[in-house]
Amino acid sequence: MIRTRIAPAPTGPCHVGIARTALFNYLFTRKHGGTFVMRLEDTDVARSRKEFEQDVYDSLRWLCLDWDEGPDVGGDFGPYRQSERKQIYQAALQKLLEANLAYPCFCTPEELEEERNRRLKLKLPPRYKGKCPTLSRAEQEAAKAQGKPYSIRFRMPDKTIAFEDMIRGKVQFDGAEIGDFVIVKPDGDFIFHLSNVVDDIEMKITHVIRGEDHVSNTPRHLALAEALGATPPTYGHIPLILNPDRSKMSKRKNPTSVSDYRQWGYLPEAMVNFLALIGWSSGTEREVFSLDELVAAFSIEAVGRAGAIFDIEKLNWLNGNYIRALPLEELQKRLRPYLPDADPDYLRRVIPLIQERLKRLDEAPALTEFFFRDELEYDPALLIAKKHTAEESRAALSQVLDRLSTIEEFGIESLENGLRGLVEELGWKTGHLFMAIRVAVTGSTATPPLFETMSVLGKERCLTRIRRAIEKLSAMSGERT
């Protein structure tokens, strides 16, 4: 039975990198009928927050990436918070100490920094080469009795450590170049390396899919698993998400939190589709996939090795594609948080006019503002038709007002027939007159189709706005209304 996990640290909002890693684990697990585990690595007491934990839950569930076991759903291998598993880590640590595979290190920070700088000057890897590995048990106990603070280091084996990465193929490291590393801090807190490995062993995790920034940690984790007498998981390291300039994605250049994209009106379906395409390819020209289709098509071997660009324009394109595919009732439901005060029946008529233009749901208020305002604010100069004066435009809009007043049923066809007929009578160019009308009834030069817009606005609102436009033009031409 395949068992994978996502193990975020709740020290900040859920990053899109965490979401992408969770997605790849989810797709791999569901493809093979396995178990997907949520584990919280919350041992950083100073920075871990309950609100960040909740944000992880909310963000991943918004993306429909449900887990089978976890802190909030239970399971047979809990507890699923590292802060509640210290006794388990302590037992593993004791096993390493008794086998002399770990030892106390009494080196001060100053001594460690001095040794690091010395090795760097010699152009040697900055690995630990202090005196503590050779201390006898008696010397260790004497130092403890003197109250000297100490960390605990793992004895890294002096041998080549190789593994077959699911994505990168064969990878190997020289254990001697890595050196002994800290697994317990002087304050007694367990370092990520030990807790992570122990949890994967105890929770029977079979496959670990994580970011490529963990590649250098893998030899340490393999050595720890061997020292604990356990079979390690199979590892796969996915490429990092990069900014367009190929720098690592960071808050300075791109929003990084899933909740930001959710707030801005990206659909979870589009976000999942987009994240899947960052680093993975179906091997076809196809770019639009549902979550179920991604599960069916996903192959861990098809994940690339190179860093993948976070292309916001592609995300916008995908999101617009998904918005256009939504049924009217569903789109109205999703727009409700962005237009909370809109009358539902009226909004149902407005939505079809903007659906094709939406790339994000949060664009709806700006695109629909003129439908809901009593008074429009715009530059009166926009009312002056091209190649016409303010007076000529005022006279033309007066004719429009008279023509619209005679139309009883304010439907699209009757509006088009009436106004196109007026264009011929006036001898104007269609675009010139229609632009003046558009500005008069919407306050903008860029809106949904004119006749559909006017039909939704309704006769009285259109007539009122055209009268107001005529007043503006009269003021510009020096006439009284």
User: Catalytic one among 251, 253, 386, 472?
Assistant: 251
Do 291 and 333 lie in a common domain?
yes
The domain spanning residue 363 has which CATH number?
1.10.1160.10
- The reply to whether 411 and 430 lie within a common domain is yes
Note if the bond before 255 is cis, omega within 30 degrees.
no
Give the per-residue pLDDT at 480: 44
Same domain, 321 and 363: yes
Task: State residue 428's pLDDT score.
Answer: 94
Residue 366 lies in a domain: yes
Q: What is the pLDDT of residue 448?
A: 94
Of the candidates 372, 393, 426, which is a domain's last residue?
Answer: 372
Shared-domain flag, residues 392 and 311:
no
Task: Specify the pLDDT at position 129.
Answer: 82
| Residues 425 and 348 occupy one common structural domain | no
Flag whether 138 is in a domain.
Answer: no
Q: How far apart are CA 161 and CA 7, in angstroms?
A: 24
Which of 372, 397, 424 is at the close of a domain?
A: 372
Rg (CA), the chain: 33
Tens of pLDDT, residue by residue over 142-160, are 999 999 999 999 999 999 9
Are 399 and 313 within one domain? no
- Is 384 within the bounds of a domain? yes
pLDDT at 187: 92
pLDDT digits (tens, 9 = 90+) for 23-74: 999 999 999 999 999 999 998 888 899 999 999 999 999 999 999 999 999 9
pLDDT at position 315: 97
Residue 311 placed within a domain: yes
The helix-helix angle for 218-227 and 192-202 (nearest 10°) equals 60
Co-location of 356 and 406 in the same domain: no
Q: What is the pLDDT of residue 481?
A: 42
Strands 151-154 and 102-105 come out as: antiparallel
| Cα–Cα distance measured from residue 390 to residue 397, given in angstroms and rounded to the nearest whole number | 10
Residue 36 belongs to some domain of the structure: no
Same domain, 424 and 451: yes
Count how many domains the chain has.
2
Kindly list the averaged pLDDT for each block of 10 residues, start to end, along the chain of length 481.
96 95 98 98 88 97 98 96 96 97 96 90 86 94 96 96 97 94 95 96 98 96 98 96 84 78 97 96 93 97 91 96 97 97 96 97 96 94 93 96 94 95 94 96 95 97 97 79 42
Write down the pLDDT at residue 254.
63
What's the pLDDT score for residue 124? 84
Q: What is the pLDDT of residue 243?
A: 86
Q: Is residue 459 part of a domain?
A: yes
- 214 part of a folded domain: no
Of the three residues 351, 372, 393, the one that is the final residue of a domain is 372
Cβ contact 150:141 at 8 Å: no
Say if residue 330 is in the same domain as residue 415.
no
Q: Which residues form the domain of 430?
A: 380-477
Query: Is 87 inside any structural domain?
Result: no
Distance, CA of 235 to CA of 228 (rounded, Å): 18
Instruction: Find the CATH number of the domain harbouring 445.
Output: 1.10.10.350
CA–CA distance from 395 to each of 312, 427, 454, 479 (Å)? 47, 13, 20, 12
- Please check whether residues 335 and 281 belong to one and the same domain: yes
Q: Give catalytic status of residue 387 as yes or no.
A: no
Question: Is residue 335 classed as helix, strand or coil in its secondary structure?
Answer: helix
